[in-house]
A and B are shown apart, each in its own frame.
Chain A
Amino acid sequence: MKRLLTLSLLLNLVLAGMVWWRGRHEAPIPRQPRGAVGEPAARGETTRGVARVTRFAPAVAAPDTPWGRIESRDPAKLIANLRALGCPEQTIRDIVAFRVARRYREQVLATEVAAARARDYSHFENPGAYWDRHYSRLELREQMIAEIEDLFGRNDSWLQVVIGPTYRDDREYLPVDKRRQVRELDLRYRRLSQELESRGIAGTLDAEATARLAELQRQKQAELAQILSPAEQEDYLYRESPAAQYVRQHLPQAKSEAEFRVIVKVAAETGMDPSSDSGLNARYGIEPADPAVAKAAADKEAEFQRRLQEALGADRVAEQEAQKQAEAKRARLQEQQRHEQQERARLATIAESVGVSADAANQFLDRIKERQPELQTKFTELERTLTGTPEEKQKQMEATIKAEMEKQAVEIMGEKGRDFVQKAMDHGH
């Protein structure tokens, strides 16, 4: 027995030693290098594609280290030095793109910090100041993109630089330099439109502002025509114009590319854009502030429908309308299901907090759903008999609903049902 214990203790020692050793020598994490390691390039060959020289503060590296000798404030020089080491191209792109991006992000951060410290918590920030910073950030991002694209030549968009050739850009139909011009144009007009829209009262624009917005769109199209060739303009029209966006967002799926193009053409000619949905306010119960705007929108939509019938035929338009209704119905059902799931999850949390199971909360909700028509009638009848101020009526109604809910909850959950209902009502259910 004594011998066995000695042996066991010895084994303990050996095992403990192995555990210690293993802890010191952690398991390797296998890696597949991201790109082929290149032959070191001659320095003269490594600056290809660099269209402009920019500067960034090098990341901190001790100057007497090997890395310190390849560091440079000039990204183009750093690229050249990395290529001279035979560093894989994708790794060079990762290093430089993130360094450039971090430099820009530092600027954004500094601006945001200054803005946060300049305001106290008693009031919201002036929306104008917020939007100014927002667009400054987007402009900085444009500069950053241009810098990254210039550093690596103009054949890849900036995200292709970072993510690699598998990244697909929605604007691939345009050369990289034109994509940049279109992006800059988009940004400028987005800012102008936003300034106009922010003056809209309660989410709607008056007739004058609506007309100015349409004028901005026309100006933008005119500027686009200066940048894009006729073929590129046509591509732009079908892929990303406001008319194309309207068709994709508000109409059912076209049967074919050819049909889609016909519809977009009609939408463009009748001035439709993603905001052209005269039924939108009605769906959300918002009465348009300016009846003239509402009438103009309805007239425009009617004209679009008329022209669409001419182009596609009445039968196809009717088919589309039926499809639209079916899609809307499906969306409503999905929304209801989602809402119910959320409601069940919330009630389950409340149930748990009062010591009742989630199953009981589900049973309660099922019971209420089952009795909904009957309860609805009862409450509607009651509403007619209430007297007093609106606040008093509201209170009476709340008390009646609460009593009814408590009755159901107590039947399922026992006395804890009262706490459950109280808490649910406190949380606005």
Chain B
Amino acid sequence: MSLLANLALAAWLVRPASSTTAAVSASSTNRTTPPVALAQPGATQSETANAVASNPPPPFLWSAIESADYRQYIANLRAVGCPEQTIRDIVATELCALYRQRAGAIWQPRKREYWQKPSSSDRPNPDQTKQLQALEKERDAVLHDLLGGHYREQELANALFLQLGSSERQLLFLPEDKRAAALEVLGDADVDTRVMELFNQGQYSREKEARLFDEKLKLLAKVLSPAELEEFRLRNSTDAQMLRAELRYFDCTPEEFKQIFDAHEASQGKVRTNDLLNRGPATEQIRELFGEERAKEYERVTDMEYQQARQSVDAYGLPVELADQAWQISHEARAAADQIAKDTTRPAAARQQQVQALQEQADRRLREVLGEKASVAVRRDLRELLGLTKSNIKP
């Protein structure tokens, strides 16, 4: 047992000093500077500094801070009272620049003249991609080692371009302290990077996105209250986004939205959001939740044709009631066309003609109600829908 312990301790001692230390700078010497020597008032460290008699000498010299070792450099900065954020900015920008240089040695985009097209084939080969990914990992490990937490190059870009990170944006509704705690747990699990990879590396699938979102919820459950977690879900899940799109013209309170959302989930796929082919189950669900009148409203305002009409009405500043009228015209025309199409007792050509006549009549009425310009998109959609009905009429 004791021999085993000897072996284990010896192995730990002879392991490489740190996986992150070797490659930061191949050319740098491993000298460390002694602790910072502060310039005392009146000290003569530089003739230049003393040349201007009216200026007091600087409280310290940068040469005393410099070090060929990052740990020492950071310690020196701390020793003179440099603020932590400034230390992070100095060290992170320096390291990221260094790693950019090293990445450039592995691969960099071909220089393109202004008159040349960007080439889609100008990308690193699989081997270079592997090397670049390894380098990125190494950089992140060094940053983590030196600065703690999970510092990413993306944070520098976000600061400079005044952007918000994707999780940061999703958590804006929370109080500041909760937001910070939530960002920390998500940062520890590197969720944002994985979400970005999902979208950028052609690996997107709804299942993967849903799994990542579930993982996010589990992580956030450690720092958010159940109510905050629920609000996060209702604000940010893909299903909630889809439901918001469907309900954009449906007048509902946040509580009612939650009721609909929960009912959709409880239906286990029987009721699908934005299921344009089969509106029945969703309308039935609204009927059960809020009664007949609201169900009728829901059916109307979530219909594709209503949404198109409403968009046109809003864009042209027309009264909202005109969208209702336009929908009514379109709805009636579609229902009548379906009836005609089904009537197999009559010849196909006659039925097709009748649908065509219906379309022309509806087109005229839509023009009258919405006017020439505002009716353009609604008429186009109706033309396409009835065209489909017509083409499905078979002898």
Binding site for B on A (CB under 8 A): 5, 8-9, 11-12, 15-16, 18-19, 22, 26-34, 37-44, 58-62, 65-70, 81-82, 84-88, 91, 94-95, 97-99, 101-102, 104-105, 108-109, 112-113, 115-117, 120-124, 137, 140-141, 144, 162-164, 170, 199-202, 204, 206, 208, 238-239, 244, 248, 252-254, 257, 260-261, 287, 289-290, 331, 334, 338, 341-342, 345-346, 349-350, 384, 389-391, 394, 426-428
- Report yes or no: B159 in contact with A105, Cβ–Cβ below 8 A: yes
| A-B contact list, 6 entries, CB within 8 Å | A37-B62, A42-B55, A113-B172, A334-B120, A346-B207, A394-B277
B288 on the A face (CB < 8 A): no
- Report yes or no: A29 in contact with B93, Cβ–Cβ below 8 A: no
16 extra interface residue pairs, beta carbon distance < 8 Å, beyond A19-B13, A28-B70, A43-B55: A18-B13, A22-B13, A29-B21, A30-B21, A30-B24, A31-B67, A37-B63, A59-B85, A61-B83, A86-B61, A105-B162, A164-B97, A238-B115, A248-B118, A342-B204, A342-B205
- Interface size of B by CB at 8 A reads 113
* Neighbouring B residues of A202 by C-beta, 8 Å: 308, 311, 377, 380-381
What is the CA–CA distance of A83 and B96 in the complex, to the nearest angstrom?
23
B110 on the A face (CB < 8 A): no
- Report yes or no: A37 in contact with B66, Cβ–Cβ below 8 A: yes
B38 on the A face (CB < 8 A): yes
What is the CA–CA distance of A201 and B280 in the complex, to the nearest angstrom?
28
- Report yes or no: A124 in contact with B248, Cβ–Cβ below 8 A: yes
- Report yes or no: B61 in contact with A122, Cβ–Cβ below 8 A: no
What is the CA–CA distance of A346 and B2 in the complex, to the nearest angstrom?
52
Q: Which of A27, A34, A69, A102 contacts B94 (CB 8 A)?
A: A34
What is the CA–CA distance of A114 and B82 in the complex, to the nearest angstrom?
32
- Report yes or no: A30 in contact with B25, Cβ–Cβ below 8 A: yes
- Report yes or no: A342 in contact with B244, Cβ–Cβ below 8 A: no
B290 on the A face (CB < 8 A): no
Min CB distance, A234 to chain B, in Å?
12
B145 on the A face (CB < 8 A): yes
The 7 closest A-B pairs by CB, nearest first: A65-B81, A27-B17, A116-B172, A59-B83, A28-B69, A15-B9, A260-B115
User: Quick one: which of B344-395 are within 8 Å of A by CB?
Assistant: 373-374, 376-377, 380-381, 383-384, 392, 394
What is the CA–CA distance of A162 and B82 in the complex, to the nearest angstrom?
20
> A29-B71, A32-B98 given as contacts; is B117 within 8 A of A253 (CB)?
yes
* Neighbouring A residues of B200 by C-beta, 8 Å: none
- Chain A facing B: main interface SS: helix
What is the CA–CA distance of A427 and B55 in the complex, to the nearest angstrom?
73
- Report yes or no: B206 in contact with A427, Cβ–Cβ below 8 A: yes
User: Quick one: which of B19-71 are within 8 Å of A by CB?
Assistant: 20-21, 24-25, 27-30, 32, 38, 45-46, 48-49, 51-52, 55, 58-63, 66-71
Q: Which of B6, B235, B278 contacts A121 (CB 8 A)?
A: B235
* Neighbouring B residues of A113 by C-beta, 8 Å: 172
- Report yes or no: A108 in contact with B81, Cβ–Cβ below 8 A: no
> A43-B52, A104-B162, A290-B376 given as contacts; is B62 within 8 A of A86 (CB)?
yes
- Report yes or no: B86 in contact with A122, Cβ–Cβ below 8 A: no
B10 on the A face (CB < 8 A): yes
Min CB distance, B204 to chain A, in Å?
7
B227 on the A face (CB < 8 A): no
- Report yes or no: A391 in contact with B97, Cβ–Cβ below 8 A: no
Nearest to B388 among chain A residues (CB) is A390
* Neighbouring B residues of A62 by C-beta, 8 Å: 81
* Neighbouring A residues of B27 by C-beta, 8 Å: 32
- Report yes or no: A40 in contact with B46, Cβ–Cβ below 8 A: yes
Q: Which of B46, B162, B245 contacts A101 (CB 8 A)?
A: B162
Binding site for A on B (CB under 8 A): 2-3, 5-6, 9-10, 12-13, 17-18, 20-21, 24-25, 27-30, 32, 38, 45-46, 48-49, 51-52, 55, 58-63, 66-73, 80-83, 85-86, 89-90, 93-94, 97-98, 113-118, 120, 142, 145-146, 156, 158-162, 164, 169, 172-173, 202-208, 231, 234-235, 240, 244-245, 247-248, 252-254, 256-257, 269, 277-278, 280, 308, 311-312, 315, 338, 342, 373-374, 376-377, 380-381, 383-384, 392, 394
> A28-B70, A29-B145, A31-B73 given as contacts; is B81 within 8 A of A67 (CB)?
yes
Q: Which of B2, B55, B70, B116 contacts A12 (CB 8 A)?
A: B2
Min CB distance, B207 to chain A, in Å?
6
Min CB distance, A69 to chain B, in Å?
4
* Neighbouring A residues of B25 by C-beta, 8 Å: 30-32
Min CB distance, B385 to chain A, in Å?
11
> A31-B24, A238-B115, A342-B202 given as contacts; is B169 within 8 A of A85 (CB)?
no
Nearest to B159 among chain A residues (CB) is A101
Min CB distance, A86 to chain B, in Å?
4
What is the CA–CA distance of A28 and B97 in the complex, to the nearest angstrom?
20
- Report yes or no: B60 in contact with A39, Cβ–Cβ below 8 A: no
Nearest to A28 among chain B residues (CB) is B69
* Neighbouring B residues of A88 by C-beta, 8 Å: 62
* Neighbouring A residues of B3 by C-beta, 8 Å: 8
- Report yes or no: A42 in contact with B245, Cβ–Cβ below 8 A: no
* Neighbouring B residues of A86 by C-beta, 8 Å: 46, 61-63
Min CB distance, A158 to chain B, in Å?
8
* Neighbouring B residues of A239 by C-beta, 8 Å: 114
- Report yes or no: B9 in contact with A94, Cβ–Cβ below 8 A: no
- Report yes or no: A69 in contact with B48, Cβ–Cβ below 8 A: no
Q: Which of B2, B24, B98, B160 contacts A8 (CB 8 A)?
A: B2
What is the CA–CA distance of A194 and B37 in the complex, to the nearest angstrom?
58
- Report yes or no: A95 in contact with B86, Cβ–Cβ below 8 A: yes
* Neighbouring A residues of B13 by C-beta, 8 Å: 15, 18-19, 22
> A8-B3, A98-B159, A108-B162 given as contacts; is B68 within 8 A of A121 (CB)?
no
- Report yes or no: A29 in contact with B24, Cβ–Cβ below 8 A: yes
- Report yes or no: A42 in contact with B115, Cβ–Cβ below 8 A: no
* Neighbouring A residues of B114 by C-beta, 8 Å: 170, 238-239, 244
Q: Which of B67, B120, B315 contacts A201 (CB 8 A)?
A: B315
What is the CA–CA distance of A390 and B202 in the complex, to the nearest angstrom?
35
> A39-B48, A105-B162, A254-B115 given as contacts; is B2 within 8 A of A349 (CB)?
no
Q: Which of A29, A122, A345 contacts B252 (CB 8 A)?
A: A122
What is the CA–CA distance of A123 and B66 in the complex, to the nearest angstrom?
54
Min CB distance, A61 to chain B, in Å?
5
* Neighbouring B residues of A43 by C-beta, 8 Å: 52, 55
Min CB distance, A198 to chain B, in Å?
8
Min CB distance, A398 to chain B, in Å?
10
- Report yes or no: B70 in contact with A31, Cβ–Cβ below 8 A: yes
> A31-B73, A70-B59, A253-B117 given as contacts; is B90 within 8 A of A91 (CB)?
yes
- Report yes or no: B85 in contact with A11, Cβ–Cβ below 8 A: no
What is the CA–CA distance of A101 and B38 in the complex, to the nearest angstrom?
30
- Report yes or no: B254 in contact with A121, Cβ–Cβ below 8 A: yes
What is the CA–CA distance of A342 and B205 in the complex, to the nearest angstrom?
8
* Neighbouring B residues of A426 by C-beta, 8 Å: 269
- Report yes or no: B254 in contact with A42, Cβ–Cβ below 8 A: no
What is the CA–CA distance of A66 and B60 in the complex, to the nearest angstrom?
7
